[in-house]
Each structure stands twice: as C-alpha cells, then as structure tokens.
C-alpha cells in the first residue's frame, strides 16, 4: 500500500463528515447564550480604568431590591482572593492596587441588563495614580518601580548547549538582529461567556471553555471548598485558540463568589468590545539573536536573548516562556548556543495562552534570522536553512538526542514541487514586484518535559452502554478543532463500528475523569492514545455485557528523561514538523502587499482525518497571516487602542488566497494510529514565511510583525 | 408603534414591544430562534445574519420596527427548505464547519448569494461571504462548500 492510500482511501486518515456539522449548520447547536435558565440574573464586571494605581475607595450607591454588588468581602472564610492558575497571584478582585486597565474590582448582578449597567455607571472609584510601565523596555527598566520582585521579572531561564563563549571568541564574524512580535487577540467568534448556578447543593458552571478541570480547581481554591464540590459543564464552544484556557478561570471565580452569595443562576457574557479590551492576548516578544560565523561563513554559535511581555500577573507566562526558548533554535542543529529567556511584568492586561504558546515568537525570530543570514551570505533562505536541519540523534538545545524521525528534506522537496520555491526565489531576486519566503518549524506535542506524567496524569474511560453503543468519557473538549469526531473515529476503528456508535457528550466534571486540559496539541496524541487503549480493552471485554467500564492512565514513553529545574532532557515526547512557503506581490503605488500563494507541508505523524487537519492548516495559516500582516494591537495609556472589529481587523475571505496543504506520513509509536499533535504547528510557520517574502520583495530586512503597509514604507525610507 | 405583524420563516407573527429593540434580540428572546448569534453587535461579523425580503441583513443593526409587514427568514427557516438543505449538506461534506459560531450566518450568506447568482465564481463567493468573519477555517472549505452547493442545487436555484 503506498502512502496516499493509507492517507486517503482505506485508513484512519480517510475523511468523514464531522459529527457536529449538521447541528451547527442548522443553527440548532446551543452555545452559552442560547440556553434558557429560570430566573436568570445578568452580571457586569466593575473594572479598573487605571493601569497602575492604589485604590483609595469604591463607593457603591444604594441598590434597588433584587440587585447585588459582589466583591472580595463575599469570598467565604477559608477561601482565597486569588485565581488558581499556575500560581494564584492574579486576584479575583483587585486588592489594594490595580496593575492594569480592566482588572476586576467587583460584580453587579440583577434581573435587568439595563439597570445593571446603570448601577455600574453610578459606582465611584477613587485612585491614587502610580507611574505605569507598558512596553518590554519600560518593564525591564522598572519604570515607576518594580511591579514584582526587585527586577520586574516573573522568571528567567537559561539554556546552554556546547561552549557558546568559545565559539564567539573564535568567530570570524558576528551577525546580530532583533525581532519583535506584537499582541494578538484570539478573536474567537463567540465571546467569553459563562452561567453560574446553584444546583443540587453545589456550584455549577456552564462554560464556553477549553479546560473544565482548570475551572473546577480555581473555583474550589477561591471558595475554599473541595474540588468535587464544584461542577463544571462545558457547552458548545465557539472557538478558543488558547483564549479559553485560563481566562475562563477569571470569570468563573468571580461568578462563583456571586452564585455562592445569591444562589440564583447568573450569566456573565462579554460583549465584543469588552472581550477585546479586557481579555488576555498573545505575548508580545523581543528576541535578539547574535550568530557567530567562522571564516567559511558556517554558523558556529548563537546567543539568543528572549523577552516576553507578561503583563500585570503571571498567568501561564513562565510556561509560555519555556516553550518560546525550547523552540528558540527551531529545526536546526547549532553546535554552541546560549539562550536567556525572561518574562517581564508590565501594566498591561496579563498575556496568556494563544495557539502555539510561545513557540510562534521563538520560531519567528530564529526563522527570520536564518533568512537574514542567508541573504548576508549570498544564499537563498531555503537552501541555507537546509544545511542546518537537525537530524535524528543530533543533540538538542536541552542536551539530549533528538529522537524523532525527521523528514524535513522530503518536506522541502514536496513544498518546492508545490510552490516552485527554488526557481522563484532566484527569479524574483530581479523582479521588483514579487517575493517569496520560506519557514521551517517544529512544535513539541503535549506538555513540556514530564508535565504529562508529573502534573496532568491524564485518565480516559469508556463504557459499553445498554443499547450496544460505547460511551467515551474524557475531559478534553470540542472547540472547533474536530476533537469529538477524531476521538470517535479512533474508538470506532478499534471497536470496528461506525462513529455514530460512539457517544461523546460535552465534558461534565461530575461525569468524566480528568484527562487534562484541551491545550498544547495534546488531545489527539495523548488523550486519543488513551482512548485507543480503552477501546482495545473494551473490545476484549465486550462479552462482559452492558456497563463494562475500562479506564486508562497516561504513561510516559520509555526512555525519556527530564529535569524541570534545569530544563534538560527530552523537552517533548515528540514533535510535529512543518514548512510553509508564502508568495507575495507588490503594488508600488499603494505599498499594498498581496499574498499570491500559500503552500504548506506537515508531518503530524498520521493525520486522524486529512480533511480536519487540512482545515486546521488553512485556519491556522490564515490566522498566522493575520498576525503577520494585519492584526495591529497597540497599547496606548494602558488601553488596547483597537477594540472593535472595525479597527482590530482579522482576515476576511478576500484577504488571502487558499492554502495548499500536503502531508508526509511518519507514524509516532505513542500516538493513536501514529498521530502526533497538529493544532498549533499549523500556526507557527506562516508569519516568518510572510515576513521573509516581504523582505525578499522589497530587498530589505523585516524585523517586526505585523508588517503593515506603513511599516513597509518606514523600512524603505530608513535605508 | 408597539404592535405589528411580519412574516417569520413563512408564518405570520405578531410582535408587541419596543420597536427599537434589535431584530437579533427579538428573534432570540421573543421567538426563541437562537440560530442567529451575536458575534460583535456592530454589523462587522455576520454571525447574526438573516434574510429580510430575501436580502441579507445583520440583525444586530436592524431595529425590529423596520420589519413590520415584511418577510424575515432566519437560519431555522432556510434549513427547512430544499435550497437550504443543499447548502447545508454541501458545507457539511466540504468540512466547512469548525467551531460553528459563524456557520449559520455563512449559510444565510450562501443562500443570499445563490438566489441571485446560481453559478458564482470563486471570487464572487469570496465577495459574498466577505461580511461574514470566520476565525477557524481560513474560509477555504466554506468557499468550496458553497461551490459544491451551487452544483448540487443547480436545478432548484
């Protein structure tokens, strides 16, 4: 059987119609705002409108009957005014000081939406303003005094491979560049929303969210009650991209304090402008790379300094930073490297998870830097990068052998055949109106290091039902990526039945085990593998009759090592690999750059459904091109200047051409049917490929995204 | 005016209440038709789209008073027609659905397009859905789904 057969004809990769397609297409699927609740109350957050200030007082007017104001005083004894994420430094309700515009001060709750807004506008908050720091530079300089510690850093990491100091001492030449990326808003089409109720004697939350058990943990922590005393039910979720990983904890904790006090159903759904202004974004980054070259122009060492703007509280920033530096030398084998990574505190809204989780920032810098080096050395970026591809057995940045089987050369050949890269990259050198760019990436699947084993300990269960079908019990959610179709396919194939015979309901923490959060490109690879193991055992034990239930817990693959304190060892159990080529054309009058081609090739092990993964590749690619070309998000006086869809513009159907996507099959031993992660990998390469293409087009170096027409004009005028 | 009639998905209905209330809220709250979604509330995203006398509107921008005596067709109404089914089946087969929040609006946009232009080019399809934002799909599979719907429904458009 040749590869295209296994991908498309008879194998697991053959596309099926998504199980959620019809209910979504007919408008029957119910999202959080679509559910009726008896006696529903509406809620609005009272938020700080200062980026950094002492709170001197909050004056709440007398409230009409049936309306409540909820704040930190309503947290029950034994509870904590902290949102339990990785740490709990982010308070549920601001303490004595606010650190960013939009920090929660209180919550107004009542039956009439308009009245709630009227009450909100009558609350007077008085502040003593302090000097804020907004940018990475201001944060590093501790402008206004440190926000945290004495250096304003949430954390600093170092990775060292080989002897970079010696490499720089013997360098014939050093090339340096600084690369910057901006904030990016997730812009899931469904804004953040949740309903909290008091049901059967416990707090119950209906949530548009990625991680039901994260919410349960944070609510239990805030209320000071055991986790099983909280129930979280995920409802159909209208997009997330990381934006509904930890941010729902911010809503859930406030809402739970209110429900605990009022004991009625309360809905907190953000309007769009609220959602853009007052939710987490992708971390802005500044990465400086210095490369030591020998006399022949070969790379002998790199020194990389990575800083991300973490904002007012930690959230997931340290884990994001780890991923940024662990992807800091991309797909290359560089003999001597030092990377320093820092997450700096500023008075902006805390930055948090967004598809890629730090990897896109790290990869953007290394990919553009490699392209710049290629140009300096008179080579085309594709050929130059290929010389440094890491191979199986080479030493990684974390000083262990790369264990993946690597197919980058084959992927390069494939993308070249699709795009004509090698021919065009030379031809366009002399064409003032055309440019072409290339980027190679990898993306570590699952949690960093031994996180799956030490922190998550995922469990999945399956049960034979009385009607002859089989139920799947997992906590990973459908948020658009196709998870419920993929997991059902995996189970159905093992049980030798149709996908309709596998039941998957939206996770409910009272009914499913904790198989971990829906993050980190782990759901198919890690949870899907557990589902496969469950289905195999259930098939063996099918004869035991209805009610037979099987349970499988994650086990780390043999032979992997990790030291979390030093970040040494196998940083990820496996990697997805990708290459993107982007072609652009130029209008010299308007400075408008038009994208004329996007070609992608991915190694995701074995795709669990070629159409679903191709859909991820198209969506991830266009989202990344928005990041690279369009999505400007500036902070002015601590506020996001762009906060409507009119000024925070995401790609429409007219902005980019279609995305060509092909796969190389490369089965992974510990993934279901050989699958690895895919959801984030498909975001990583398009932005650096686009910036490389624009650089090629204008014959200048691009160092920063988004590359807007104004930026292009600046670059052209500077030189 | 605080009471008037209009046609909703082919049936005569009466609305009593504030004529300035947004059509979106009236559909969702007064008539329980939650297929139209609020994605932005400012007419930029198209998630709340419906047909007003056959033309696509963003219901978040339409005060309900405007629809007096006119015909409103929502996703629920479109889904019940042969043309709607052709679009829905074609989009399902094309893989055009991911999170689904923009999806009802996309179906409305497709119906609006194909009624006036049964054989659209790719550019015409992209133009027709350019007022409907999708953050998941990158639009490719929506475009190919609408092209397939045009073929599938060639006799009925």
Question: DSSP letters of A610-646?
Answer: HHHHHHHHHHHHHHHHHHHHT----EETTEES--STT
CA of B8 to nearest chain A CA: how many angstroms apart?
Answer: 16
Yes or no, beta carbons of A18 and B135 under 8 Å apart? no
Q: Check residue A291 and give its pLDDT.
A: 98
CA of A300 to nearest chain B CA: how many angstroms apart?
Answer: 40
Q: Which of B75, B95, B136 sits opposite A26 (nearest CB)?
A: B75
Q: What is the per-residue pLDDT across A43-102, written as a single tens digit (0 to 9) for each?
A: 999 999 999 999 999 999 999 999 999 999 999 999 999 999 999 999 999 999 999 999
CA of B101 to nearest chain A CA: how many angstroms apart?
Answer: 5
Yes or no, beta carbons of A21 and B92 under 8 Å apart? yes
The encoded tokens of residue A203 equal 């707090």
Q: Which of A20, A622, A646 sits opposite B44 (nearest CB)?
A: A646
Q: Which residues of A touch B142 (CB under 8 A)?
A: 653
Q: Check residue A719 and give its pLDDT.
A: 61
Yes or no, beta carbons of A618 and B140 under 8 Å apart? yes
pLDDT band for A262, please (50, 70, 90 cuts).
very high
pLDDT band for A1, please (50, 70, 90 cuts).
very low
pLDDT band for A4, please (50, 70, 90 cuts).
very low
Q: Which residues of B touch A18 (CB under 8 A)?
A: 92, 95, 97
User: Which 8-state DSSP code applies to residue A358?
Assistant: T
How is chain B split into domains, by residue range?
A: 3-74, 78-152
Residues A383-410 have a mean pLDDT of 98
Asked if residues A462 and A494 have their Cβ atoms less than 8 Å apart, the reply is no
- Per the DSSP assignment, residues forming a β-bridge with A639 are A636
Q: Which of B47, B107, B143 sits opposite A25 (nearest CB)?
A: B107
Tokens 């999945």 belong to A460
Asked if residues A268 and A207 have their Cβ atoms less than 8 Å apart, the reply is no
CA of A486 to nearest chain B CA: how many angstroms apart?
Answer: 13
Asked if residues A689 and A437 have their Cβ atoms less than 8 Å apart, the reply is yes
Q: Which residues of B touch A191 (CB under 8 A)?
A: 39
Q: Which residues of A touch B120 (CB under 8 A)?
A: none
Does A644 touch chain B if contact means CB atoms closer than 8 Å?
yes
Give one DSSP letter per residue of B122-141, joined into a string.
HHHHHHHTTTS--SSS-SHH
Element (H, E) at A116: helix A113-121
Residues A380-399 have a mean pLDDT of 98
Yes or no, beta carbons of A27 and B93 under 8 Å apart? no
Count the Cβ atoms, other than its own, within 10 Å of residue B30: 14
Question: Which candidate in B21, B49, B84, B98 is best for mutational testing of the A interface (most A CBs within 10 A)?
Answer: B98
Residues A700-705 have a mean pLDDT of 97
Q: Which residues of A touch B38 (CB under 8 A)?
A: 33
Yes or no, beta carbons of B141 and A650 under 8 Å apart? no
Pairing label, strands A434-444, A337-345: unpaired
Tokens 């119906």 belong to B111
Q: Which of B93, B138, B141 sits opposite A17 (nearest CB)?
A: B93
Question: Which candidate in A16, A27, A271, A624 is best for mutational testing of the B interface (most B CBs within 10 A)?
Answer: A27
CA nearest A26 in B: which residue? B79
CA of A547 to nearest chain B CA: how many angstroms apart?
Answer: 32
pLDDT at A270 over 50: yes
Q: What is the per-residue pLDDT across A120-168, written as a single tens digit (0 to 9) for each?
A: 999 999 999 999 999 999 999 999 999 999 999 999 999 999 999 999 9
**In chain A, positions 612-631, which contact chain B (CB-CB < 8 Å)?**
612, 614-615, 618-623
For chains A and B, count residue pairs whose Cβ atoms are closer than 8 Å: 167
Q: Check residue A579 and give its pLDDT.
A: 99
For domain B78-152, the question of CATH label 1.10.150.120 is answered with yes
| A75-79, A423-427, A457-461, A708-712, range with the lowest pLDDT | A708-712
Q: What is the per-residue pLDDT across A576-631, written as a single tens digit (0 to 9) for each?
A: 999 999 999 988 777 799 999 999 999 999 999 999 999 999 999 999 999 999 99
pLDDT at A666 over 50: yes
pLDDT band for A9, please (50, 70, 90 cuts).
low
Yes or no, beta carbons of B35 and A26 under 8 Å apart? yes
Does A112 touch chain B if contact means CB atoms closer than 8 Å?
no
Q: What is the per-residue pLDDT across B25-83, written as a single tens digit (0 to 9) for each?
A: 999 999 999 999 999 999 999 999 999 999 999 999 999 999 999 999 999 999 999 99
pLDDT band for A188, please (50, 70, 90 cuts).
very high
**DSSP 3-state of A698:** helix
pTM score above 0.90: yes
- The whole-chain average pLDDT of chain B stands at 96
**Which class would CATH give B3-74?**
alpha beta
Yes or no, beta carbons of B127 and A654 under 8 Å apart? yes
CA of A677 to nearest chain B CA: how many angstroms apart?
Answer: 17
CA nearest B124 in A: which residue? A654
Question: Which candidate in A16, A19, A24, A190 is best for mutational testing of the B interface (most B CBs within 10 A)?
Answer: A24
In degrees and rounded to multiples of 5, residue A193 shows phi and psi of -165, 150
CA nearest B84 in A: which residue? A26
**A319/A220 Cα distance (integer angstroms):** 23
Yes or no, beta carbons of A646 and B42 under 8 Å apart? yes
pLDDT band for A7, please (50, 70, 90 cuts).
low
Yes or no, beta carbons of A619 and B137 under 8 Å apart? yes
Q: Which residues of A touch B36 (CB under 8 A)?
A: 27
pLDDT band for A10, please (50, 70, 90 cuts).
low
**In chain A, positions 190-229, which contact chain B (CB-CB < 8 Å)?**
190-191
**In chain A, positions 334-393, which contact chain B (CB-CB < 8 Å)?**
none
**A456/A447 Cα distance (integer angstroms):** 9
pLDDT at A174 over 90: yes
Asked if residues B75 and A26 have their Cβ atoms less than 8 Å apart, the reply is yes
Residues A423-436 have a mean pLDDT of 96
pLDDT band for A408, please (50, 70, 90 cuts).
very high
What's the start-to-end Cα distance of chain A, in Å?
Answer: 56
Element (H, E) at A287: strand A285-293
**Packing angle of the helix pair B140-152, B103-116 (nearest 10 deg):** 40
Q: Is the dihedral of CA A614, A616, A619, A623 positive or negative?
A: negative
CA nearest B45 in A: which residue? A645
Q: What is the per-residue pLDDT across A578-592, written as a single tens digit (0 to 9) for each?
A: 999 999 998 877 779
**B15/B72 Cα distance (integer angstroms):** 13
Q: Which domains does chain A have, with CATH numbers?
A: 3-30+451-553 (3.30.365.10), 379-445+569-719 (3.30.365.10)
Asked if residues A696 and A436 have their Cβ atoms less than 8 Å apart, the reply is yes
State the ipTM, two decimals: 0.98
- Reference B88, options B142, B38, B40; nearest CA is B142
Q: Check residue B156 and give its pLDDT.
A: 56
CA nearest B99 in A: which residue? A480
pLDDT band for A283, please (50, 70, 90 cuts).
very high
CA nearest B49 in A: which residue? A27
Tell how far CA A102 is from the center of its chain: 22
Q: Which of B74, B100, B140 sits opposite A24 (nearest CB)?
A: B100
pLDDT at A3 over 60: no
Q: Check residue A495 and give its pLDDT.
A: 97
Residues B102-107 have a mean pLDDT of 98
Yes or no, beta carbons of B42 and A644 under 8 Å apart? yes
**DSSP 3-state of A660:** strand
Does A19 touch chain B if contact means CB atoms closer than 8 Å?
no
pLDDT at B155 over 80: no
Side-chain-side CA neighbours of residue A234 (13 Å) = 32
Q: Check residue A5 and give its pLDDT.
A: 44
Yes or no, beta carbons of B37 and A33 under 8 Å apart? yes
């Amino acid at each position: 059987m040749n590869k295209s057969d296994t991908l498309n004809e008879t194998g697991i990769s053959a596309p099926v119609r998504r199980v959620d397609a019809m209910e979504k297409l007919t408008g029957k699927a119910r999202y959080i705002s679509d559910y009726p609740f008896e006696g529903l109350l509406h809620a609005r957050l009272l938020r700080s409108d200062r980026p950094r200030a002492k709170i001197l007082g909050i004056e709440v007017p007398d409230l009409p009957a049936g309306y409540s104001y909820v704040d930190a005083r309503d947290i029950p004894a034994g509870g904590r005014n902290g949102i339990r994420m990785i740490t709990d430094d982010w308070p549920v309700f601001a303490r004595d000081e606010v650190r960013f515009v939009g920090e929660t001060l209180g919550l107004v709750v009542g039956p009439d939406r308009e009245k709630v807004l009227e009450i909100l506008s009558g609350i007077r908050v008085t502040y003593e303003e302090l000097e804020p720091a907004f940018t990475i530079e201001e944060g590093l300089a501790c402008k206004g005094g440190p926000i945290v510690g004495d250096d304003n850093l949430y954390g600093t990491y170092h990775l060292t491979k080989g002897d970079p100091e010696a490499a720089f001492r013997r360098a014939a030449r050093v090339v340096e560049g600084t690369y910057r990326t901006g904030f990016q808003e997730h812009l899931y089409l469904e804004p953040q929303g949740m309903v909290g109720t008091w049901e059967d004697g416990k707090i119950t939350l209906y949530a548009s969210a990625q991680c039901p058990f994260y919410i349960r943990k944070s609510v239990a922590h805030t209320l000071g009650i055991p986790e099983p005393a909280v129930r979280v039910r995920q409802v159909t979720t209208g997009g997330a991209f990381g934006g509904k990983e930890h941010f729902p904890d911010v809503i859930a904790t406030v809402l739970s304090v209110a429900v605990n006090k009022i004991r009625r159903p309360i809905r907190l759904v953000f309007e769009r402008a609220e959602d853009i202004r007052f939710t987490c974004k992708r971390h802005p980054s500044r990465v400086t790379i210095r490369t030591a070259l020998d006399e022949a122009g070969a790379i002998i060492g790199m020194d990389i300094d990575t800083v991300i703007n973490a904002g007012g509280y930690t959230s997931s920033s340290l884990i994001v930073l780890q991923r940024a530096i662990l992807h800091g030398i991309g797909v290359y084998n560089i003999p001597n490297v030092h990377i320093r990574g820092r997450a700096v505190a500023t008075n902006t809204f805390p930055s948090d998870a967004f598809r890629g989780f730090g990897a896109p920032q790290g990869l953007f810098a290394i990919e553009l830097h490699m392209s710049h080096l290629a140009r300096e050395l008179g080579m085309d970026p594709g050929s130059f990068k290929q010389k440094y591809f890491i191979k199986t057995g080479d030493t990684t940045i974390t000083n262990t052998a790369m264990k993946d089987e690597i197919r980058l050369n084959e992927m390069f050949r494939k993308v070249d055949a699709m795009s004509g890269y090698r021919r065009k990259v030379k031809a366009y050198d002399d064409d003032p109106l055309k440019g072409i760019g290339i980027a190679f990436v990898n993306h570590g699947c699952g949690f960093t290091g031994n996180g799956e084993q030490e922190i998550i300990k995922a469990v999945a269960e399956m049960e034979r039902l009385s009607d002859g079908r089989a139920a799947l019990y997992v906590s990973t959610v459908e948020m658009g990526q196709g998870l419920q179709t993929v997991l059902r396919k995996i189970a159905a194939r093992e049980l030798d039945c149709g996908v309709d015979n596998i039941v998957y309901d939206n996770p409910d923490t009272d009914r499913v085990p904790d198989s971990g959060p829906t993050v980190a490109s782990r759901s198919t690879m890690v949870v899907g593998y557990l589902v496969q193991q469950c289905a195999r055992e259930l098939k063996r034990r099918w004869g035991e009759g209805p009610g037979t239930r099987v349970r499988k817990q994650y086990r780390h693959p043999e032979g992997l090592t990790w030291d979390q304190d030093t970040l040494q060892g196998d940083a990820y159990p496996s990697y997805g690999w990708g290459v993107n080529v982007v072609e652009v054309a130029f209008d010299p009058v308007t400075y408008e750059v038009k994208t004329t081609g996007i070609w992608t090739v991915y190694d995701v092990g074995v795709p669990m459904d070629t159409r679903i993964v191709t859909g991820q590749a198209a969506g991830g690619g266009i989202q990344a091109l928005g990041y690279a070309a369009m999505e400007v998000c500036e902070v002015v006086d601590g506020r996001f200047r762009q906060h409507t869809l009119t000024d925070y513009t995401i790609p429409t159907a007219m902005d980019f051409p279609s995305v060509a996507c092909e796969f190389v099959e490369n089965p992974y031993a510990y993934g279901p049917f050989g699958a690895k992660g895919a959801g984030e990998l498909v975001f990583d390469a398009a932005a650096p490929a686009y910036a490389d293409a624009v650089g090629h087009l204008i014959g200048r170096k691009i160092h920063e995204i988004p590359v807007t027409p104004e930026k292009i004009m600046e670059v052209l005028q500077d030189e | 005016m605080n009471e008037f009639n209009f046609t909703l998905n082919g049936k005569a209905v009466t609305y009593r209440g504030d004529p300035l209330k947004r059509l979106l809220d009236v559909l969702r709250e007064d008539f329980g038709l939650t297929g139209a979604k609020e994605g932005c509330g400012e007419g930029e995203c198209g998630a709340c789209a419906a047909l007003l006398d056959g033309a696509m509107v963003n219901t978040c921008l339409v005060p309900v008073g405007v629809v007096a005596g006119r015909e409103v067709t929502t996703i629920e109404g479109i889904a019940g027609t042969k043309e709607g089914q052709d679009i829905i089946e074609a989009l399902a087969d094309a893989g055009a659905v991911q999170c689904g929040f923009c999806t009802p609006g996309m179906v409305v946009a497709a119906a609006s397009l194909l009624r006036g232009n049964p054989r659209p080019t790719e550019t015409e399809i992209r133009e027709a859905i350019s007022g409907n934002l999708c953050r998941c799909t990158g639009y490719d599979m929506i475009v190919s789904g609408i092209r397939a719907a045009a073929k599938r429904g060639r006799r009925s458009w």
